[in-house]
Structure 1
């Protein structure tokens, strides 16, 4: 059962009680991410995520680590384009300690100047590590290109220039502005009593100012872009993407099933054609990246430079198929059951349930019953996938980026057509 309360300052507290569980996963979510930054401070949301673990007035960074380790728990955080989450997973009897620890780092981190400089070096190393990992870098480059000129295109990590320029004052100003009550959601799933958690959280978090921090951004524009980035690598890394779906639009179920058929599993068309039948690549897959007001459908592969032309031929052919022929009943049903099964299996984990609570609140403003989601998958037909494909499989929104020794490819950008 899901329960929701709203504190006087607008903070939402949402719980799902799982009485047979022995653990509780709890997260403090802030519905502001990298897309809500100014370009001059790009990376600040992610930087703050790091800094909150560096010490408070009551605890040093070592104290924080020792306290969660001493109860066998997990304490971590992550930043995305649209939210930041600080979370803990602990045995249910230690929930009060987890609440105290999470709220302490959330409210009372000191942002010590020396710690800021040490963590700045850590984040700069994280940026360098990504740039040295081409199968990670290509996705960042793709989204920068796909959302060029829009905040969605900014890197979650920031870049060397923006992170190097973040002053303590700019960091504190951003946190004060963006960590506001109506953008904060506390979610917990597991063996938790709702009213008890509300009482614990209210005692700690009512000092948070109310209101919203973020401002609406303009809708992104989808445009055709093709870019070949020369880099001395053994492989060429390819990302090809199209307009996708938003987090809440009804067609998302069609998109999920279309993606599962295209490249979302080992039985998918791309995996079978590119890896199993042709032996072109070890890694090939597709994925959906959905946001509040936009989305993309992306295909990735990493392979030898001389095989790129063959990969592109197969990928474009498989995308065209969605526009030109209905998917078979067997493929549709298999993809449907795959996604249903994945969802049901994920709900055996309290941390996945906690994340689901938060994301449903951010994008829908309410819980999404499991039965409603299953019905959404059941409504997908071969005809509805054809209709979606007619909208998104379009040359006007196609973006392609290739990273590696691309000079050996005979691909002509103007000839990359669906």
Structure 2
């Protein structure tokens, strides 16, 4: 499926050739996310991501940067997460050299002009305001703040208004210099690509320097009883995140955790979708997912419910958690979840950009890449006993947390009903 090599400057380079593809994707991931930041510069990873699109010597302004791939119908973007920052471009194969030139140029040769930093500061402040006005999105940030508190894992990726207002050009340049190093980067080419791309990629990205990568703070988790966080807002419905602390990316039960999330709320025929939406009519959206970071993880159910029925909805979700803990899941239900996983993976990996993301993300996080067949094999090996063991391990009062946005101020009322 793929080939991996290490370039002279330490970049891990992956190729995934697909002869039948009509597109080619280049993706660059750098291990510099919000968990790498200091409190006073929280948000700098995301701020830096924005600044890569503001001009280089060859493409002097934002218009010149964006026009390059717009002229050939390319798709491109960038994103910042807790663990890493990513950049990608997807084009017709004949324009792959252009995409590589463009992406290497904005990453390695951006000017970071003071005037552009000041303008982009205003853009990011409006992005923060947008998230604050979107409770369905913002409650996810509150959930992680509740779990991890005042440490990098609990800080917002965008930063705060206060930190974004204070970040200056010198700090941006230092963060770029220290974090964007060869050993801290992964480049993946996927789709209709040539057989020998290593030299071309190195020529474009040779500006990545080798050097020591800054150490990340280890996430600390301390909890002895159920916890709740209420963010008061006069909303038409209450948006909630209800879940438990669980497993990190390297835990042997992470795949069983993911399958359990699918059974609980990962599809329209899942337990929570049927019980909370179809039978009780309490929510329009309800879903369960598992998140695995490098040093922490959780299982989470999200829903938007009538303000007058929040307590009923919370109890209904907890009832399904308890059921998964107390009663073994049937072979029929497990098979449905496994088949769903397999089919969803096949759909997910149809395109060159998704394949690039699939491989590059594994490499930047774990320094290894499992093929789809290997992952499916791990899913197929999961038994009812495995799911029961995981459910009994995670569905404990001391791991239970609830974050919500709505017309509520007294978290104690919610903590009283957080029982499994």
Structure-1-length-normalised TM-score: 0.97
Q: Count matched residues.
A: 417
2:317 to 315, 327, 334: 315
Can you list the C-alpha shifts for 1:246-301, whole angstroms capped at 9, x where unaligned? Answer: 22322122111100111111111111111111111111111112111110111111
Aligned pairs (5 A) from 1:100-115: 100-115=101-116
Pairwise CA distance, 1:360:
1.7
Offset, 1:116: 0.9
- Cα distance in structure 1, aligned partners of 2:98 and 2:107: 14
Partners in 1 of 2:31 and 2:132 — Cα distance? 27
* Structure 1 residue 175 displacement after superposition: 0.6
Q: Secondary structure at the match of 2:9?
A: coil
Q: CA separation of 1:76/1:409 partners in 2, compared to 1, >3 Å: closer, same or farther?
A: closer
Q: 2:408 corresponds to which residue? A: 406
Q: Where do residues 236-385 of structure 1 align in structure 2 (5 Å cutoff)?
A: 236-385=238-387
The whole-number CA distance in structure 2 between the counterparts of 1:29 and 1:120 is 23
1:56-93 residue CA offsets vs partner (Å, 9 max, x unmatched): 01102111211101111012101110011111000111
Matches within 5 A, 1:170-185: 170-185=171-186
- 1:17-72 Cα shifts (integer Å, max 9, x gaps): 00111211111110120000001101110111111011101102111211101111
Query: Hey, what does 1:213 align to over in structure 2?
Result: 213
Deviation (angstroms), 1:415: 3.3
The DSSP-based 3-state class of the residue aligned with 1:208 is: coil
The DSSP-based 3-state class of the residue aligned with 1:307 is helix
- 1:220: how far off? 2.3
> Distance between the aligned counterparts of 1:250 and 1:191, measured in 2?
35
User: Does residue 142 of structure 1 match 2:116?
Assistant: no
CA distance, structure 1, for counterparts of residue 135 and residue 368 of structure 2: 38
Which residues of structure 1 form unaligned runs of 5+?
Answer: none
Q: How far does the alpha carbon of each residue in 1:391-417 deviate from its partner, in whole angstroms, 9 at most, with x for none?
A: 111111111112111259994413311
Please report the RMSD computed on the Cα atoms of aligned residues, expressed in angstroms: 1.5
CA-CA distance at 1:364 after TM superposition: 2.9
Segment of structure 1 superposing worse, 358-367 or 4-13:
358-367
Alignment match, 1:79 = 80
Q: What's the secondary structure of 2:268's corresponding residue? A: coil
Judge conservation of contact 1:235–1:303 (CA < 8 Å) in 2: yes
Shift in Å, 1:205: 2.1
In structure 2, relative to structure 1, the CA distance for the partners of 1:410 and 1:243 (3 Å cut) is closer
Secondary structure of the corresponding residue to residue 302 of structure 1: strand
Matches of 1:34 and 1:143 in 2, distance apart?
A: 13
**How far 1:150 sits from its partner (Å)?**
2.6
Task: Render the CA deviation track for 1:289-323: whole Å, top value 9, x for unaligned.
Answer: 21111101111111111111110111111001111
Assess if the C-alpha contact under 8 Å between 1:46 and 1:156 holds in 2: yes
Q: Which sections of structure 2, spanning at least 5 residues, go unmatched?
A: none
Secondary structure in structure 2 of the residue aligned to 1:27: strand
Q: Could you tell me whether the CA contact under 8 Å between 2:30 and 2:364 is conserved in 1?
A: no
Q: What secondary structure sits across from 2:105 in the alignment? A: helix
